[in-house]
Amino acid sequence: MSEFLRSYLTVAIFGATGCLLVGAFVGLSALVRPTRPQAQKYLTYESGVDPVGTGWSQSNIRYYVFALLFVMFDVEAVFIFPWATRLEAYGYFGLVEMAIFIFILALGLFYAWRKGVLRWV
Amino acid sequence: MNVLADLAYWQETIIKVLIGLAAVLLPAGTIVYLYLFKMMSFMQSRLGPMEAGPFGSMQPLAEVGKWIQKEDIFPTKADKRVFAAAPFVVLMSTFLLVIILPGGPDATFVDLNVGIYFGLAVSSVSVIGILMAGWSSANKYSLLGGIRAAGQLIAYELPMILAVVGVVIQAGTMNMQGIVFAQAEGEIFGWGGIGNPYIITQFLGFVIFMIAIQAELTQPPFDMPIAESELISGYLTEYSGIRFLLFFIGEFATSGVFSAIAATLFLGGWYVPGIDPHNDIFNVIGPLILFGKMMLVAFFIYWFRFTYPRFREDQLQRLAWKVLIPLSLVNIVATGVLKVVL
């Protein structure tokens, strides 16, 4: 196996370790904890009164536009990182190129700002 | 010289996994005891835990012992499978994050060439765990808390990522080891006496990064998702016993790992001035130096935590989108110009 794949195998093993740790804690707890079922214990908590309606109630999600803006800037970050590592080699050409790219994105943010989506409506 | 080089892959990996467990859990325990219990108590003119062990130092273990004996409660209406899976996702993200930390010239878990980029990517996996917890609880408070958490974490991820770009431009690499060497061998205007810790040349980036990780860790003043006066405990409302404890461990372990990442990116990681960075001695003292720097960064995080009142949701989003993101874009352009011109 190549060195490259091997390092990502270690990454996967670390992820599995995290899951195993959680499993070990829950398993250990299962050995020592009491179980005394009572219907009231399993009610949804709503400040001590009987829950009203369903828990998955409809609520007005503010800032959903931000999720769209987030996608835009996250993709931008994907492009910026490789550029940042090679900036010395590209010199002025790379700098101007990226300045234009960032300017266009900043324009997008500015547009959203002026449109009023960046405030509590 | 690499002591691990002679071992087979599986032997090496077992050792690394054990060190990784220590690197996640020990800082978490230290932070909980020193900062959450003791420092907060002293700031509030009280003693804090004093009974368990000398000066209450065994209190974190006592807490684990207590929580482990609690009854496991699944609400009837909850989506049980997702409810049980959420802590796995959160802790897994922490373990994937710790892997990028270098502790010395040869002492790395994995020397990924995209180091910090990988770290920023896996750190956002915990958002999914928190959304899972909030949604599956079938509780109005949890749902609101989970949605708030998602909104906050994606908003502050951007300044965090963009602040790191400044460091990557200066170092010319995304590899964590490369960033440490770049700081150790760097020069500030031709003077290389203390190397070039990027906290000096990237001070704006450091400030943005610290504010952003404070929000990413949902530490006060950015604790809208678990605002106890409004949402009981946000996405954690229905969790009890061991599953609550796992979220708690995840939160503090991640704050330790993020502090260590900030220390590596901006304070020079395992390097101290005066010794050649290729010296083998760093494989031994490097992890301790990194631990010291991590505790220093964590101190600031917790100092802010205990000092500032909570942000309102709209103030929080305004700070991210109208202040931090434009500032970090300016920082990228300014760093790029200075790098090419100088």
Q: Which residues of B touch A118 (CB under 8 A)?
A: 317-318, 321-322
Residue ranges, chain B, pLDDT below 70: 1-5, 190, 192
Phi-psi group of B71: left, alpha or beta (phi > 0 → left; psi -120 to 50 → alpha; rest → beta) = beta
State the residue range of the domain holding A100.
3-115
Of B86, B97, B85, the C-alpha closest to B20 is: B97
Number of domains composing chain A? 1
Q: Which residues of B touch A11 (CB under 8 A)?
A: 96, 99, 110, 112, 118
CA–CA min distance B40, chain A (Å): 28
Neighbours of B229 (CB within 10 A): 6
Nearest CA in chain A to B138: A55
Residue predicted with more confidence, A63 or B224 = B224
**A7: in domain:** yes
CA–CA min distance A102, chain B (Å): 7
Q: Which residues of A touch B141 (CB under 8 A)?
A: 45-46
Confidence of residue A83 (pLDDT cuts 50, 70, 90): confident
Q: Residue A9: pLDDT above 60? A: yes
Do B77 and A55 count as a contact with CB atoms less than 8 A apart?
Answer: yes
Supply the pLDDT for residue B155. 85
CA–CA min distance B309, chain A (Å): 20
- Mind listing the pLDDT tens digit for each residue in A33-52? 888 888 888 888 877 777 77
**A120: in domain:** no
Do A102 and B329 count as a contact with CB atoms less than 8 A apart?
Answer: yes
The CATH number linked to A30 is 1.20.58.1610
Q: Provide the terminal-to-terminal Cα distance of chain A, rounded to the nearest Å.
A: 56
**A70: in domain:** yes
Supply the pLDDT for residue B4. 59
**A88: in domain:** yes
**A47: in domain:** yes
Supply the pLDDT for residue B1. 45
Domain boundaries of chain B, sorted by first residue: 2-341
Do A17 and B17 count as a contact with CB atoms less than 8 A apart?
Answer: yes
- Mind listing the pLDDT tens digit for each residue in B321-335? 888 888 998 998 888
Question: Whole-model pTM?
Answer: 0.89
The reply to whether A117 touches chain B by the CB within 8 Å rule is no
- In the predicted model, what is the mean pLDDT of residues A7-27? 88
Half-sphere exposure of A80 (CA within 13 A, CB side): 30
Q: Which residues of A touch B2 (CB under 8 A)?
A: none
Do B172 and A85 count as a contact with CB atoms less than 8 A apart?
Answer: yes
Do B72 and A29 count as a contact with CB atoms less than 8 A apart?
Answer: yes
Q: How far apart are CA B24 and CA B249, in angstroms?
A: 9
